[in-house]
Amino acid sequence: MIEEAPNVVTEDGLRGLLAEGYLLEVVCKEAGEKRHNSWYGTWVVRAVAEDGRADKMLVTSRSYLKVREFKTIVGLVSFLAEMGCKSVSIPLEEGGRERHAAPGRVDAPWTGPVLVSDN
C-alpha cells in the first residue's frame, strides 16, 4: 500500500518526519465558527518539507486512507501539543494555512501564514 499512496502519513510516521526536519502545516477546510464557548470548523494536517515541495497528508491509517480531520480547535491544539508544538497558530478562514516547527530544531525555520497560489 505504501507504493500506492506515498503522499500520506500516519501519526507515527509524522513523528518520524518531524524528527527529519519536516514542518506541520494546518489547513483550514471549513471556516472556524464560535458556538457558545468553543470553536468548530474543519482542519487537516500535512507534513511539508521546508521548501514546501514534498508534502504528505495525515491519514487515520495506511490501510484505510481517510484524511484525519479535526472538528474543534481543542482537538487540533491537543494533537499539535502531542506532536511537540509549544505554541500554535490556527487559521480561522477557509483556505488558510499555518506552519509549525517541531521543537528542538537547531535552525528554526520560518513559521506563520503561508500564501498559496491556485496553480
Q: Per-residue pLDDT tens for 62-118?
A: 677 899 999 999 999 999 999 988 889 999 999 999 999 875 344 455 566 666 666
pTM score, whole prediction: 0.79
Is residue 2 a part of any domain in this protein?
A: no
Specify the pLDDT at position 68. 94
Q: Nearest-CA neighbor of 76 among 20, 9, 29?
A: 29
Is residue 119 a part of any domain in this protein?
A: no
Is residue 1 a part of any domain in this protein?
A: no
The range of the structural domain enclosing residue 79 comes to 8-113
Q: Per-residue pLDDT tens for 7-47?
A: 899 988 898 889 888 999 999 999 999 999 999 999 999 99
Is residue 30 a part of any domain in this protein?
A: yes
Q: Write down the mean pLDDT value for the chain.
A: 84
Is residue 95 a part of any domain in this protein?
A: yes
Tally of domains within the chain:
1
Specify the pLDDT at position 111. 62
